[in-house]
Structure 1
Amino acid sequence: MKQLSHDAFKRARNWILMKGRPLEQALFAYEFENGTADEVLNALHAYQNVDGGFGQGLEPDIQLKDSSPIATSVALQHLVRFADEPKADTMIREAIRYLEYSFLEERQGWLAVPMKSNDYPHAFWWTVHENGMSWIDENWGNPSAELIGYLYLFEEYVTALHIPKLIDQAMQHFLQLESFKSEHEIYCYLRLFAMIPSQRTEKVERQLTKAVQSLVKLDRENWEKYVPFPLKFIPSPDSPSFGIPEFKIEDNLDFFVEKIEEHGKLTPTWEWNDYPEAWEKAKQDWSCILTEGTLSALKRFERLSNE
């Protein structure tokens, strides 16, 4: 079991503090250096628009300034950690307002990004086609399943949508899946079930295990590519393993320790086909997001050396 050395941790820290956005810098400080929730929320607030939704390139592969459901889901992933803070409460209330406004009756959910996203630099998989959908929207649960979880969690702010009906619909969709084409849809469902644990029945657990087993890549050579590796499904030592062998989880942790030891950071395993200048900036932002997130994961799994 490999531990990340203090020297490698310091190099990763310096990378985040030199090259990271204020949000990742504040998240790192909160996690490791007694930073405050207020600093994180102030940084996150810069991405919230007047309609309550989030945009402004919060998800670096989508440089759309306007709000989008997918960027709002990213923001809410952060906001749930700080939901007891008054500033977070206000931001959440406004985000729920946006989700109600952007809800599509005919879809009984949301499309990830609006057509206007095409007017800004973006990764090719976020291109919205003539039918109003991106490739991401072929899998309903990303981000709709996750967003329904936030509606449930903050139901006191929901005025127009019928949450039990939406939960039932999300469950039916998940349990009827016979094949699993999108790991991101499963990530969204895992977040949904974390917010609504009462829905985690034995039947759901069997379906989740089937999904993870069909998607997860267990061999090291795959982890150099953009794939769903074990830690994507097992974010903490307390998480269910879904049948992933313990030694593969440990190997995945070793892999990321080695990467940061070697490079002092992580870099994205994907790239854009267009907008080369914008991609260079997005690539740097992603590097800091990935590095900060992985350092936090290594901390949870007690993989940081004190020496």
Structure 2
Amino acid sequence: MKMLTADALAAAERYMLLNARLIDRLRYERLVGGGSPDRVLAVLRAYQNADGGFGNALEPDLRGPGSQPEPVEVAFWILDEMDAFDDPMVLRACDYLMTITTADGGVPFVTPSVRETPRAPWWETPDDPPGHLIPTASIAGLLHKHKINHPWLGPATEFTWAEIEKTTEFETYTARAIVNFLERVSDRDRAHEQFARLREAILATVALDPDAQGEAHFPLDFAPEPGELPLFSDEILQRHLDALIDQQTSEGGWEPNFPMWTPVVRHEWGGFLTVERLKTLKAYGRLV
């Protein structure tokens, strides 16, 4: 079993100092050195807009200042990491979600205002976008985990269940959103029932070969920390943890395996993903 050495961690720190955004530098400091969560939250607040949503390139591929649903998910994962779901940012963001929720209870993948600002080419939408499991499912799952009471959550939960229960196959990002929801939603019997039905379809979207090239999604993308749902064997997880350690670059960070469409996002994503990879290694006991 490989461990991330002290020298490798020092290289990661150097990568973060040379390349990462302030918010990710502070997340790194919190993760490995016990830095203050208050500093992370102070920076996160700068990404929140007056309407309660998040923008301002918190999701690096959405460069505009305006609020979009996916940056809310990014913000909520950071708030989860800080164990800070009692922060007022959460309910303000839920208020924003209420303003963009569709008739069926979900929020769109992206809203039409995205057309007004620079963004990665895959952020496209029709004029009247429907609700989508991305990011509705992950956001709802995190709100259930932290037992947040807000009017948005009930309809969003019913939307997510309805979409999951009529689903038999899906692409990888949707599969990850479904797993995020099923790991955290309060109705555990229903979650396990749907997981058992969909497990093989979820696994069909996963690259089990750690050397797979291109925009592959690996077991640790679905299970970045030990979870309740038995998606992967311990043998598979341990193999991919070894591979994750080997994937640290000569610069000290971990690189994205999806298209970089403008130069700045390489290191913005690199800083974000380096923290995510180190979180995973720590969660599985692979940091010295």
Normalised by the length of structure 2, the TM-score is 0.89
1:193 and 2:182 equivalent?
yes
Assess if the C-alpha contact under 8 Å between 1:217 and 1:229 holds in 2. yes
1:82/1:265 CA distance change after superposition, 3 Å: closer
Inter-CA distance 210–14: structure 2 relative to 1 (3 Å threshold)? same
Offset, 1:157: 3.7
Secondary structure of 2:149's match? helix
Distance 1:150 1:259, change over 3 A: closer
* Residue 260 of structure 1 pairs with residue 243 of structure 2: no
CA distance in 2, matches of 1:147, 1:69: 9
- In structure 2, the residue matched to 1:217 is 207
Gaps of 5+ in 1: 274-278
Query: Are the structure 2 counterparts of residues 114 and 255 from structure 1 closer, same or farther at C-alpha, using a change threshold of 3 Å?
Result: same
TM-score by structure 1 length? 0.84
How big is each residue's C-alpha offset from its partner over 1:29-76, in whole Å with a ceiling of 9 and x where there is no partner?
111111111011011111100000000000001112100111111111
What letter is aligned with 1:303? R
Residues 183, 228 of structure 2: 8 Å contact kept: no
Post-superposition offset of 1:261: 6.2
Task: Report how far residue 26 of structure 1 moved.
Answer: 1.2
**Structure 1 equivalent of residue 18 of structure 2:** 18
Number of the residue aligned with 2:59: 59
Coordinate RMSD, CA, aligned: 2.3
Distance 1:147 1:246, change over 3 A: closer
Greater per-residue helix proportion: 1
1:30/1:36 contact within 8 Å kept: yes
- Quote the residue 2:136 is aligned against: 144
Going from structure 1 to structure 2, the CA distance change for 1:94 and 1:170 (only over 3 Å counts) comes to same
Superimposed CA distance per residue, residues 106-129 of structure 1 (whole angstroms, 9 cap, x where no aligned partner): x43111222221232221111334
Identity value in percent: 24
How far 1:8 moved relative to its partner? 1.3
31 and 200 in structure 1: CA distance in 2 versus 1, 3 angstrom threshold: farther
Q: Which residue pairs with 2:87 in the alignment?
A: 89
Residue deviations 1:236-278, cap 9 Å, x none? 2344341x343322221111111216441111112245xxxxx
Provide the secondary structure at the position in 2 that maps to 1:260.
coil
| Counterpart residue number, 1:203 | 193
| Correspondence list, 1:79-228, <5 A | 79-82=79-82, 84=84, 89-105=87-103, 107-129=104-126, 131-133=127-129, 140-149=132-141, 152=144, 153=146, 155-158=148-151, 161=152, 163=154, 165-180=155-170, 182-201=171-190, 202-222=192-212, 224-228=213-217
* Alignment size in residue pairs: 286
Partner SS state of residue 14, structure 1: helix
Supply the distance in 2 between the matched residues of 1:11 and 1:266 (Cα, whole angstroms): 11
- Structure 2: unaligned runs, 5 residues or longer: none
Q: How is 1:3-82 mapped onto 2 (pairs within 5 angstroms)? A: 3-82=3-82
Matched to 1:177, the amino acid is T
